[in-house]
Structure 1
Amino acid sequence: MGLIEQPASLEAQSVSPRKAPAKGPNAERRAALFRETPLAVVRRWFVGTAWALRPKRIAMLLPVARVTFAHLLNPSRALPDTAALAPDAEIAGLITDLSPATLMDAYARGLFPHGHIRPLKWVCPPTRAVVRPADFHISSRLRGLMRQGCYRVTFDTDFEGVIVGCAAPRRRWLNLTWITPYIMAAYGRLFDEGHVHSFEVWNRDGELVGGGYGVAVGRVFVIESQFYRESNASKIGFAVLAWHLAKWGFVLVDNKWLTPATAHAGFREIPRSAYLGQLPEHWGEPVHPGRWQTEADIKTVAGSR
Structure 2
Amino acid sequence: MTELVAASVDSANTPQVSEQRQALFREPVARRVQRVVLGTAWAVQPSRIGSLPGLARLWLADLVGGGRELPDPRRPANAMGACGIVHDPTPERLVEAYGRGLFPLAHFGPLKWMSPPDRCILTFADLHIERTLRRLMRQGRYTVTFDRAFDEVMVACAGRRRGRWPLTWITPRVMRLYAELHDAGHAHSFEVWNRTGALVGGGYGVAVGGAFFGESQFSHERNTSKLGLTVLHWHLARWGFLLDDGKWPTPTTCAMGFRCVPREEFLALLGDAVARPGRTGRWVAETGPETVAHWRPEDCAHARRSSQAA
TM-score (norm 1): 0.87
Cα distance in 2 for residues equivalent to 1:63 and 1:302: 47
Of residues 216, 219, 228, the one that matches 2:210 is 219
* Structure 1 partner of 2:231: 240
* Structure 2 partner of 1:17: none
Contact residue 94 and residue 121 of structure 1 kept, 8 A = yes
1:100 and 1:134, CA in 2 relative to 1: closer, same or farther beyond 3 A?
same
CA RMSD of aligned residues (A): 1.8
Pair 1:143-2:131 in alignment: no
Pair 1:121-2:112 in alignment: yes
- AA paired with 1:273? E
Gaps (5+ residues) in structure 1?
A: 1-23
Cα distance in 1 for residues equivalent to 2:285 and 2:156: 21
Q: What is the deviation of 1:56?
A: 4.2
1:266 and 1:179, CA in 2 relative to 1: closer, same or farther beyond 3 A?
same
* Residue deviations 1:51-84 (CA, integer Å, cap 9, x gap): 2233443223222112112212322121111233
1:1-305 equivalences under 5 Å are 25-85=16-76, 88=79, 90-284=81-275, 286-305=277-296
- AA paired with 2:185? G
Gaps (5+ residues) in structure 2?
A: 1-14, 297-310
Contact residue 162 and residue 211 of structure 1 kept, 8 A = yes
Cα distance in 2 for residues equivalent to 1:164 and 1:87: 30
Q: What is the deviation of 1:137?
A: 1.1
TM-score (norm 2): 0.86
Cα distance in 1 for residues equivalent to 2:259 and 2:153: 26
SS of 2:196's equivalent?
coil
SS of 2:74's equivalent?
helix
Percent pairwise identity:
51
The structure 1 segments of at least 4 consecutive aligned residues displaced by more than 4 Å after TM superposition are 86-89
1:208 and 1:286, CA in 2 relative to 1: closer, same or farther beyond 3 A?
farther
* Residue deviations 1:230-272 (CA, integer Å, cap 9, x gap): 1101000001000011111101111112234322211122221
* Residue deviations 1:9-65 (CA, integer Å, cap 9, x gap): xxxxxxxxxxxxxxx943122111011112221121122122223344322322211
Deviates more, 1:284-293 or 1:116-125: 284-293
- AA paired with 1:187? Y
SS of 1:82's equivalent?
coil
* Residue deviations 1:187-242 (CA, integer Å, cap 9, x gap): 00000010001000001110000100010010000000001111101000001000
Corresponding residue pairs, total = 282
Deviates more, 1:92-101 or 1:109-118: 92-101
* Residue deviations 1:125-177 (CA, integer Å, cap 9, x gap): 11111112343211011101111111110000000110000011222112111
Cα distance in 2 for residues equivalent to 1:129 and 1:56: 19
SS of 2:213's equivalent?
strand
Contact residue 153 and residue 297 of structure 1 kept, 8 A = yes
1:194 and 1:113, CA in 2 relative to 1: closer, same or farther beyond 3 A?
same
Cα distance in 1 for residues equivalent to 2:281 and 2:40: 40
SS of 2:18's equivalent?
helix
SS of 2:132's equivalent?
helix
Q: What is the deviation of 1:86?
A: 7.1
* Structure 1 partner of 2:12: none
Q: What is the deviation of 1:99?
A: 1.1
Contact residue 87 and residue 126 of structure 1 kept, 8 A = no
